[in-house]
């Protein structure tokens, strides 16, 4: 009965995180639009960072409670789940040609970020036989977060400028099918866009969404950490296993929903682009911030170093390098990602 209650409250926590995150992103986007920022720029900054809020809050709360296995397992495990489960589904259902230039920078940043995190963790101070991640080494990884956001902003500004150039100069502009797909939503002119609603009712609704969404994410994260720990204790399973399965998959549900939506609409670039961006933010932002919250030094569990991070790097390589070489995503990559993910989960359970 205790296990049933723990699982039930864990699922309630996941539901609160998913719906709370949805409300928070909607409200944050509205607030940014009210400030006069162009929608494309909002997507490149506010939305991209806000969508990582569930994973970030879960890991921060776990860190403050001393549950580093959940903190680290969730951060890295979410990336592994995004690649081995969600990206696997996307590539299996929607293989095809891509514009390599569109993916090159983000792919390189993700691969470098994962390798960078591994190296700084392995090279960190060893305390009682356990490696640690301190603030100063974490900054090496955190810098890539700013590089990624800066590139997003530059790309958004460039796209906005290109959208205006045909009307202002009469020049012909040629873009790829995937670029056209990505830019389809904001392609209308500023005059044709509906003005952002600023009436009293809309203001109240968005304030409630912002506050309620943030509260939902924080409350859901609390439930996820508390009952994730309790479930591990009751079931006799290490916290790290719960972190990289139930917790990591739970906080990755927004990416899964986006992927399913993209499959239905046959928009592959939206799905894969969202997964790559989410992974970069997870890797470059969460653990460095947790290291700061922990008081300057975050313990990195042995399993995270020997299993989670190597598998994360391997999945990133399988998902991205063949695409960069052949200029297409292959169905076999989706199968390979899922098989590697299944092997990872099996090893995580057997060895821990």
Q: CA 140, CA 148: separation in Å to the nearest integer?
A: 13
Q: What is the largest CA-CA distance in the chain?
A: 70
> Does residue 35 have a pLDDT over 80?
no
User: What 3-state class would DSSP assign to 96?
Assistant: strand
Q: CA 228, CA 243: separation in Å to the nearest integer?
A: 7
The answer to whether 110 and 312 are in contact (CB under 8 A) is no
DSSP letters for 286-317: IHHHHHHHTTSEEE--HHIIIIIHHHHHHHHH
For residue 211, give both structure tokens.
Answer: 């506050």
Long-range CB contacts (within 8 A, 24+) of 5-10: 6/227, 6/230, 6/231, 6/234, 7/227, 7/231, 9/223, 9/226, 9/227, 10/223, 10/224, 10/227, 10/228, 10/231, 10/246, 10/250
How many structural domains compose the chain?
A: 1
**Cβ-based neighbour number of residue 9 at 10 Å:** 17
Distance of CA 222 to the CA centre of its chain: 19
What's the pLDDT tens digit per position in 48-94? 677 788 888 889 988 988 888 888 988 999 999 999 998 999 899 88
Q: Specify the DSSP class assigned to residue 125.
A: P
- Name residue 299's beta-bridge partners: 132
Tell me what pLDDT residue 310 has. 94
What's the pLDDT tens digit per position in 158-175? 877 776 665 544 444 444
Q: CA 7, CA 11: separation in Å to the nearest integer?
A: 6
- Name residue 131's beta-bridge partners: 126
From residue 342, give the alpha-carbon distance in Å to each of 54, 88, 114, 170, 282. 24, 11, 20, 53, 21
CA dihedral 346, 347, 351, 352 (to 10 degrees): -60
Q: CA 49, CA 37: separation in Å to the nearest integer?
A: 16
Q: In what order do the strands lie in the sheet with 126-127?
A: 126-127, 130-134, 297-299
**Cβ-based neighbour number of residue 25 at 10 Å:** 21
What mean pLDDT do residues 298-309 have? 89
The answer to whether 257 and 54 are in contact (CB under 8 A) is no
Supply the pTM of this predicted model: 0.81
Confidence class of residue 190 from pLDDT cuts 50, 70 and 90? very low
> Does residue 260 have a pLDDT over 60?
yes
> Does residue 316 have a pLDDT over 80?
yes
Give residue 82's domain range. Answer: 2-351
The CATH number covering residue 259 comes to 1.20.1420.30
Average pLDDT score, the chain: 81
- % the chain with pLDDT above 70: 85
Confidence class of residue 237 from pLDDT cuts 50, 70 and 90? confident
What's the pLDDT tens digit per position in 11-28? 898 888 888 878 877 887
What's the pLDDT tens digit per position in 114-154? 999 999 988 877 777 788 888 888 898 999 999 998 888 88
**Cβ-based neighbour number of residue 275 at 10 Å:** 25
Q: CA 1, CA 28: separation in Å to the nearest integer?
A: 40
């Amino acid at each position: 009965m205790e296990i049933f209650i723990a699982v039930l409250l864990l699922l309630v926590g996941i539901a609160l995180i998913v719906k709370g995150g949805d409300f928070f992103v909607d409200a944050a986007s509205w607030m940014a639009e009210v400030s006069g920022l162009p929608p494309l720029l909002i997507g490149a900054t506010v939305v991209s960072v806000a969508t990582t809020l569930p994973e970030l809050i879960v890991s921060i709360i776990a860190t403050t409670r001393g549950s580093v296995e959940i903190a680290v397992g969730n951060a890295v495990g979410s990336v592994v789940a995004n690649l081995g489960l969600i990206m696997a589904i996307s590539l299996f259902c929607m293989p095809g040609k891509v514009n390599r230039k569109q993916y090159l920078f983000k792919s390189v940043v993700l691969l470098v970020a994962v390798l960078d995190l591994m190296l700084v963790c392995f090279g960190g101070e060893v305390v009682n036989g356990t490696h640690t991640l301190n603030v100063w080494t974490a900054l090496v990884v955190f810098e890539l977060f700013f590089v990624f956001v800066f590139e997003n902003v530059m790309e958004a500004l460039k796209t906005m400028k290109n959208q205006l150039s045909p009307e202002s100069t009469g020049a012909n502009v040629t873009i790829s099918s995937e670029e056209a797909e990505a830019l389809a939503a904001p392609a209308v002119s500023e005059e044709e866009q509906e003005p952002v609603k600023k009436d009293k009712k809309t203001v109240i609704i968005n304030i409630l969404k912002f506050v309620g969404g943030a509260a939902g994410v924080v409350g859901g994260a609390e439930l996820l950490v508390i009952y994730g720990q309790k479930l591990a204790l009751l079931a006799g399973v290490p916290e790290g296993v719960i972190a990289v399965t139930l917790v990591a998959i739970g906080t990755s549900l927004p990416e899964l929903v986006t992927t399913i939506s993209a499959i239905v609409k046959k928009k592959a670039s939206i799905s894969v682009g969202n997964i790559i961006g989410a992974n970069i933010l997870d890797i470059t932002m969460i653990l460095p911030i947790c290291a700061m919250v922990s008081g300057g030094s975050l313990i990195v569990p042995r399993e995270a170093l020997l299993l989670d991070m190597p598998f994360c790097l391997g999945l990133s390589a399988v998902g991205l390098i063949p695409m960069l070489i052949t200029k297409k995503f292959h169905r076999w990559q989706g199968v390979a990602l899922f098989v590697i993910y299944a092997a990872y989960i099996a090893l995580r359970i057997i060895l821990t």
